[in-house]
Amino acid sequence: MADQRISLTINQRDVSVVVEPNETLLQVLRDGLGHMDVKYGCGEGVCGTCTVLFDGEPVNSCLMLGVQASGHTVTTVRGLIDDPEGRALQARFLEEGAAQCGYCTPGIVLTAYHLVRENRRATREDLRAGLAGNLCRCTGYVNILDAIESHLGRSRSHTEASV
Partner 1 sequence: MSQLSSSGLDVRTPLDRGTGQVGSSIVHGEFRDKVHGSLLYAADHYGPGMLHGKVVRSPFPSARIISIDTSEARALPGVIAVLVADDVPKNVMGEEASGLGLERIQTPVLAEDRVRYMGEPVALIAAEKPHIAEAAAELVDVDYEPMPGVYDPEDALAGNAPLIHDQGNVLSDWRIARGDVDSAMEDAHHVVEGTYKTQAVDHAYLEPEAGVGWIDVDGVVTLRVATQVIEHATEVAAILGLPHNRVRVASTYMGGAFGGKEDMTVEPFLALLVWETERAVRMVWSRQESLLARPKRHPFVMRYRTAANADGKVLAQDIDIVGDAGAYPYLSPRVLFAAAVTAVGPYRVDHVRIRARAVFTNHVPNSAFRGFGAMQVVFGYESQMDRIASASGLTREEVRLRNFLASGDPLPTGEPVPTVPAVAATMRRALDALKPQSPAENSKLARGRGFACNMQPYGRTVFFGDKASAWIGFEADGTVIVRAGVTDLGGGQAASLAQIAAEVLGVDTSRVIVHIGDTHLTPLTGGTFATRQLYMSGNAVLHTARDLRNQMAPVAARLLGVQTDDLEFAGDAVRTRTGGVELSTAEWVSACGAEEVATAHLGTFHGESGSFDSRTGQGRTFPDYTFGTHAIQIEVDTETGTIKVLDYVACHDVGRAINPLRVEGQIHGGVAQGLGYALSEEILTEDGVSHSALFADYLIPTALDLPDITPIVLEEEPGKGPFGARGIGEPTIAPVAAAVASALEDAVGIRPDRLPFTPERVLEAINSQSR
Residues at the interface with partner 1 (CB under 8 A): 20, 22, 27, 30-31, 36-37, 39-44, 46-47, 49, 76-78, 81, 90, 93-95, 97-106, 109, 127-129, 131-145, 156, 161-163
In the complex, the smallest distance separating the C-beta of residue 153 from partner 1, rounded to whole angstroms, is: 19
Nearer to partner 1, 36 or 55 (CB): 36
In the complex, the smallest distance separating the C-beta of residue 9 from partner 1, rounded to whole angstroms, is: 18
* Contacts (Cβ under 8 Å, ≥6 apart) of 115: 122, 126, 127, 130, 131, 148
In the complex, the smallest distance separating the C-beta of residue 57 from partner 1, rounded to whole angstroms, is: 19
Nearer to partner 1, 8 or 35 (CB): 35
Nearer to partner 1, 33 or 71 (CB): 33
| Residue among 156, 114, 153 nearest 131 (CA) | 114
Nearer to partner 1, 71 or 91 (CB): 91
* Contacts (Cβ under 8 Å, ≥6 apart) of 53: 59, 74, 75, 79, 110, 113, 114
In the complex, the smallest distance separating the C-beta of residue 39 from partner 1, rounded to whole angstroms, is: 7
What are the C-alpha distances in Å from 44 to residues 64, 77, 83, 100, 129? Answer: 11, 21, 30, 23, 20
| Residue among 75, 80, 74 nearest 93 (CA) | 80
